[in-house]
A and B are shown apart, each in its own frame.
Chain A
Amino acid sequence: MHEISIARAVLRMVEDIIPTGGHVKALRLRAGAARALEPEALEFAWQVTCLDSAAAGSKLNLTVDPWALRCRKCGRQFQSDDWQTSCICGGAAELRAADDELILEEIDLVSPPGQHRSVVQGRE
Chain B
Amino acid sequence: MKVPVVDNVLKLNDEIAQSNRAMLRASHVFCIDLLGGPGCGKTTLLEATLAKFANELRVGVCVGDLATTRDADRLDRHAVQAVQINTGRSCHLDANQVKQALTHLPLADLDLLIIENVGNLICPVGFDLGQDVKVGMFSLTEGDDKAAKHPSIVTACDLMLLNKMDLAPHLTFDREQFRDEVGRLHPGLRLIELSSTDPNDAGFVHWLNWVRTAVQSQATLV
Contacts and interface: CB of A to CB of B under 8 A. Distances in A.
Contacts of A2: 91-92, 122-123, 126-127
A110 B187 CA distance: 47
Interface residues of B, number: 35
Chain A interface mostly helix, strand, loop or mixed?
mixed
Interface in A1-16: 1-2, 5-6, 9-10, 12-13
A106 B9 CA distance: 12
Nearest to A124: B6
Given A109-B2, A110-B1, A120-B3, A36 B126 contact: yes
A94 interface: yes
Interface in B5-60: 5-13
Contacts of B127: 2, 5
A102 B90 contact: no
B94 interface: yes
Contact of B186 (A72, A95, A111): A95
A119 to B, nearest CB: 10
A9 B127 CA distance: 12
A17 B7 CA distance: 11
A103 B8 contact: yes
B187 A108 contact: no
B152 interface: yes
Chain B interface mostly helix, strand, loop or mixed?
mixed
B101 interface: no
Contacts of B186: 95, 98
Interface in B120-146: 122-123, 125-127
A36 B12 CA distance: 20
A11 B108 CA distance: 38
Given A1-B90, A5-B94, A107 B122 contact: no
Interface string A31-48: 001111000000000000
A50 interface: no
A124 to B, nearest CB: 7
Contact of B7 (A103, A109, A111): A103
B190 to A, nearest CB: 16
A78 B10 CA distance: 28
A13 B187 contact: no
Contacts of B180: 92
Given A35-B126, A94-B184, A102-B10, A5 B3 contact: no
A54 interface: no
22 contacts: A2-B122, A2-B126, A5-B90, A5-B92, A5-B123, A9-B9, A12-B12, A13-B7, A36-B126, A72-B184, A84-B148, A94-B183, A94-B185, A95-B185, A100-B125, A100-B152, A100-B155, A102-B10, A103-B6, A109-B2, A118-B3, A120-B3
Interface of A: 1-2, 5-6, 9-10, 12-13, 17, 29, 33-36, 67, 72, 83-84, 92-95, 98, 100-111, 117-118, 120-124
